[in-house]
Amino acid sequence: MNIAKPNSYRSGPDERGHFGIFGGRFVAETLMPLILDLEKAYTAAKADPAFQAEMNGYLKNYVGRPSPLYFAERLTEHLGGAKIYLKREELNHTGSHKVNNVLGQIMLARRMGKKRIIAETGAGQHGVATATLCARFGLECVVYMGAVDVERQQPNVIRMEMLGAKVFPVQSGTRTLKDAMNEALRDWVTNVHNTFYCIGTVAGPHPYPTLVRDFQSVIGNETKAQMQEIEGRLPDSLVACIGGGSNAMGLFHPFLDDPSVEIFGVEAAGHGLTQLHAASIAGGRPGVLHGNRTYLLMDADGQIQDAHSISAGLDYPGIGPEHSWLHEVGRVNYLSATDDEALAAFQLLSKLEGIIPALEPAHAIAKVMELAPKRPKDHLMVVNLSGRGDKDVPQVGDILRGKK
């Protein structure tokens, strides 16, 4: 490939929101002034020590950070290779990494004087985090969720409603995450005067991919410090699952300029890459959707194709634009895990470590099962355990009973 290696992998995006050819601001004119306002508000907030101090206070006392970096001793023994550490994002308040980003965006929304918050959600983790912080700060909350996902992630729907959010099951299109995002954008265009769109992943128009990444980078920054304290050095590899890719970007970004650190992103291969799947990098190509240019699953006419994953949180035909760029420049290796591999990993981690992972990070664990045995015992591997599996217990229970 003739793509030049940059001096730093951490300097993007440019002032127009581009990571190489990816990213940008592909939105309707109605939204453009608001996106420019958001960029201004975010730039001002970043430069304001009071903003960071307030956020750190909530991260510590409300979210429960720092999340532990835990040595998974039995998983390590079982796989017989690399020393595996779990970054325990599933221990955060609300049960996943999503809350890190939502806290930041809700604080931005408050600075901008917005009283109504909308969000899209796939697995419901982002919706739950948004509903939680809206309850905490007394804001109106509306969550768009594909009707298919409402069905398979009932526990999270109930949680959002208990927190006072209004959940709209989206019936258009494929009735999953991409359609929830379309519907959230339609709401935003309609209620642009009082509404803040709290996007759950490192996608959408600039500046969202950047601000979500920045709010999630607490994961990687903590990991770096914790590993230094425990092992006295950098980890040798990082592994994280990717739908839109916010937990992965949060872990990866602080390490991008540490060349000794191997980085692996794991997409959802669904039934397999030759069948229905959700692996945009493995099976897609660059296109434009939801405000950014990025790898997308689509047909020859540029029509967006249905994604499939057992995990509602990964069931999206795109990926954050910075991931597309990191793929093209070769800094991150993008792999994929099938539904069956994720289910096996889900069970393995539950039984060996007493930790029931969400189906999303079970995809990352599935690749750890392949990568770790091939590496020496002094190799330090960190996997982002981005969410807990409570929400998936009914679905996985049904599948396992059906299989037995």
Partner 1 sequence: MTTRIDTRFAELKRQGRAAFVTYVMAGDPDPATSLEIVKALPKSGADVIELGIPFTDPMADGPSIQAAGLRALKVGMTLKKTLELVRDFRKGDNVTPLVLMGYYNPIYIYGVDKFLADAKTSGVDGLIIVDLPPEEDDELCIPALKAGLNFIRLATPTTDDKRLPAVLANTSGFVYYVSIAGITGAAAADANAVGEAVARIKRHTGLPICVGFGIRTPEAARAIAEKADGSVVGTALVDALKNSLDAEGRATAKTVNAVAELTAALAQGVKGAQQAAE
237 contacts 251 by C-beta, under 8 angstroms? no
CA dist 296 → 67, 280, 286 (Å): 32, 5, 6
- The set of residues, in sequence order, having a beta carbon less than 8 Å from that of 9 and lying 6+ positions away, is 256, 257, 326, 329, 331
Instruction: Give 388's DSSP letter.
Output: B
> Of residues 350-379, which lie at the interface with partner 1 (CB under 8 A)?
none
Q: Residue 214: phi, psi to the nearest 5? A: -60, -45
**Which residue among 89, 367, 386, 391 is the active-site one?**
386
**Catalytic residue status for 386:** yes
> With CB under 8 A, what is the number of residues at the site for partner 1?
37
> Of residues 126-185, which lie at the interface with partner 1 (CB under 8 A)?
172-173, 178-179, 182, 185
Least distance between partner 1 and beta carbon 18 (Å): 10
**Catalytic residue status for 98:** yes
**Beta carbon nearer to partner 1, 89 or 179:** 179
**In sequence order, what are the beta bridge partners of 278?**
none
User: CA 280 to CA 302: how far, in whole Å?
Assistant: 14
How many other C-beta atoms are found inside a 10 Å radius of the C-beta of residue 189? 16
Q: x/- string (CB under 8 A) for partner 1, residues 259-288?
A: ----------------------------xx
**Catalytic residue status for 120:** yes
**Which residue among 120, 183, 267, 360 is the active-site one?**
120
Hey, what are 113's tokens? 């004087």
User: CA 401 to CA 271: how far, in whole Å?
Assistant: 19
Closest Cα to residue 74, out of 83, 61, 65?
83
**Beta carbon nearer to partner 1, 153 or 174:** 174
Q: Which stretch binds partner 1 (CB under 8 A): 43-51, 187-195, 229-237, 327-335?
A: 187-195
**Beta carbon nearer to partner 1, 189 or 234:** 189
Q: Does residue 32 touch partner 1 according to CB under 8 A? A: yes
> Of residues 286-325, which lie at the interface with partner 1 (CB under 8 A)?
287-291, 293, 296, 298, 300-304
Hey, what are 335's tokens? 């792999």
| Site residues for partner 1 per CB under 8 A | 16, 24-34, 172-173, 178-179, 182, 185-186, 189-193, 287-291, 293, 296, 298, 300-304
Catalytic positions: 98, 120, 386
